[in-house]
Every structure is written in C-alpha cells, then in structure tokens.
Amino acid sequence: MSNINQLRGCGTAIVTPFNNDESIDEIGLKRLVEFQITGGVDFIVACGTTGESVTMSEDEQARVVEICVQAANGRVPIVAGAGGYNTREIIEHIHRFTDLGADAILSVVPYYNKPTQEGMYQHFRAIAENTELPIILYNIPGRCVVNMETPTTVRIAQLPNIIGTKEASGNISQIGEVIAATDESFLVFAGDDSVALPTIALGGVGVISVASNLLPKVVSDLSHACLAGDWDKARKLQRELTPVFKTMFIESNPAPVKAAMASAGLIGETLRLPMVPISDASRAKLQEVLAPFQVTAQAA
C-alpha cells in the first residue's frame, strides 16, 4: 500500500484500454500505469468516468483495480472509483476493492435517482461507516444532474474517512467556498484540467486529470508548479495546455483522449457502446492541437 500523503498534485483518471473484441487490454493497461508513473504523476484513479466504469461489470472493474495495484507496486497510490445509485452495492464494491489493495476510494454523487442534499449526506455517511479506506467525494453535476452544495460537502467532510473531494462542478466560486469552509486537511482536487491552476491558487491540492493520460509529465509539471508557488511557470504551462484541455472534451469523454492516445500508438481506440469514436472533424482538430507535443508510444 502506498503513502496516502501522496494524494496531491496530479492524479490521472486512467482510461481502460480495450481489445478489438472489447475485452480489457490487460497488457496495455499495465503499460499505461508504467507510462503514468514514469511521467511523474502522483497517483492514479482507476474505474472513474474516464475509465468507462459504467460499461464494465463488477468483475471487470475489480480486475482493472487489481492490475493497477499490481503494476504500481506501491510506487503511487491507486484510487478506485466506486460510485452508482445503489448505496448497498457501492459498499460491496468498496469491500472488494479494499481486498484488492486499493489505497483510497473516489465515490461520485449518486446519479439518475436525484437524491436530495440530505440523501447525499446519508449516502456518504453509510459508505464512511462501512469502510476504513479514505474516501474522496466526486461532485460532477453535469453527469449526475444534481449538485452537491457547499454546506453538504462541509457536513460530509466531518464524517470519518472522508478526506477530500473532486470538484468537477466547473464553478470556481463553489470550489473556493468549499476550500474556505473546510479544514486544511480536507483535500480539494480540481475535477477539470482547465481549472487546476485557479483551484490550487485558492488552496486546493491538485487535479484529477484526463489530459495526463496522454501528457503525464507536462500536466504534472503544471500542478507541481502551482503547489510550489512558481506561478510564472504555471501560467506558461496553462497557456500552452489550455487548447489541449478544451479539445479533450470536443466530444464526450473519454472518446477524444482515447483517440489521441491511439494516434500516438499508446492504446487501441476501442470504446464500448454507447460511446463511439470521434468524428473526422474532431479528429482533425485534435491532431492540430496536439501536434506540438509529439507524443509517441516510445515514451511508454
């Protein structure tokens, strides 16, 4: 098990590579973990949104977590995504991920059934009471339909094992409010690459990144520069990376980042329905934006 204090800086929300028959590309996943660690990321998040967890069975999710834990071999923490809309089922998943050696859990606000703020609190309370693993909340109203409001986040932060939140609301004001209203020990991560710099400037501790799948070093350099207070370097990197961050969401995540990684020879582009490959127009734009970075499989 890794040092949980490493949970700051840049964490990659790692993609799940699939073979042409849509089975998990286990060799490719191991190679990606190595690519991330060599690139300098601080931790890896498996089975998140970018990892297409909702299209995988429980056994497949467990296998992805197991591979990441084994490949990392204690060098960086592995955070396992365990979310959904059934609290009891999520707790069962967490127990399984615990047995596999996950270092922490990232758990998204329940989606589809649209819980109230009280429902969110009771949901995370039940999870916290049924595991000893550290838990990072995940607020992404664009996918969950509901927003975990600042008072709710602050209330949940008082529960045992709740160590932080991934704020993907895109609302800088809300991110700042959460940081201001919680203890410094509560870890606030940017949930969008584009707001890593302002989030850390406000007192956040890092980013859970999509773009670092392809560019682990430069995205890590950005978060590390911010944490070190080297704002000149951070602003320079932000300017260089802003077009990349935007283009990674030119279509639904993770289709663009998988296309970019496939173009670089890092993985195959296979997605599981209902996700589909990006359009030719989006592909051309992606190639244009990424041309200066010259990522190749030789780096993996």
**What would the pLDDT profile of 184-209 be if each residue is shown by its tens digit?**
999 999 999 999 999 999 999 999 99
Contact partners, residue 186, CB within 8 Å, separation at least 6 = 157, 162, 163, 164, 165
Catalytic residue (one of 112, 114, 166, 233): 166
Answer whether residue 100 is part of any domain. yes
| Residue 299 falls in which region: left (phi positive, over 0), alpha (psi -120 to 50) or beta | alpha
Reported as a single tens digit per residue, the pLDDT across 220-253 is: 999 999 999 999 999 999 999 999 999 999 999 9
Site of tokens 């961050």: 245
- By C-alpha distance, which of 16, 3, 9 is closest to 272? 16
Amino acid letter for position 147: N
- The alpha carbons of the chain give a radius of gyration, in whole angstroms, of 18
- Write down the catalytic residue from 111, 112, 138, 285: 138
User: In 10 A of CB 7, how many CB atoms?
Assistant: 24
111 belongs to the catalytic site: no
CA–CA gap between residue 79 and residue 234 (Å, rounded) = 26
Q: Domain limits at 176?
A: 4-231
pLDDT of 4: 74
Over residues 249-292, the pLDDT tens digits come to: 999 999 999 999 999 999 999 999 999 999 999 999 999 999 99
Structure tokens at 132: 């000893």
pLDDT at 47: 98
214 is written with which tokens? 């392809």
Mean pLDDT of the 155-184 span: 97
Residue 94 to residues 50, 146, 168, 215, 249, Cα–Cα distance (Å): 19, 23, 22, 30, 29
Provide mean pLDDT across the span 55-76: 98
Q: In this structure, is residue 21 part of a structural domain?
A: yes
pTM above 0.85, yes or no: yes
H-type alpha helices, 3-138? 26-39, 58-72, 87-99, 117-128
Question: Would you state the pLDDT for residue 297?
Answer: 56
Q: Please state the domain count of the chain.
A: 1
Scanning the chain, the segments in alpha helix (DSSP H) are 26-39, 58-72, 87-99, 117-128, 141-144, 150-156, 172-181, 196-201, 216-227, 231-247, 255-263, 280-290
Instruction: Kindly report the CATH number assigned to the domain that includes residue 101.
Output: 3.20.20.70
Give the burial class of 144: count Cβ atoms within 10 A of its Cβ; 0-12 exposed, 13-18 middle, 19 or more buried. buried
296 assigned to some structural domain = no
Rounded distance, CA 294 to CA 300, Å? 13
Q: Which residues of 67-93 are buried (b: 16+ CB within 10 A; e: fewer)?
A: bbbebbeeebbbbbbbbbbebeebbeb
pLDDT at 5: 82
112 is catalytic: no
Q: Does residue 271 belong to any structural domain of this protein?
A: no
Torsion 69-71-77-79 (CA) sign: negative
In a domain, 15, yes or no: yes
What residues pair up with 46 in beta bridges, in sequence order? 80
Alpha-carbon torsion (16, 82, 13, 244), positive or negative: positive
Which position has the token pair 């949901």?
Answer: 123
Q: Where do we find the tokens 């204690």?
A: 74
Contact 94, 124 (CB under 8 A): no
On whether residue 285 sits in a domain, the answer given is no
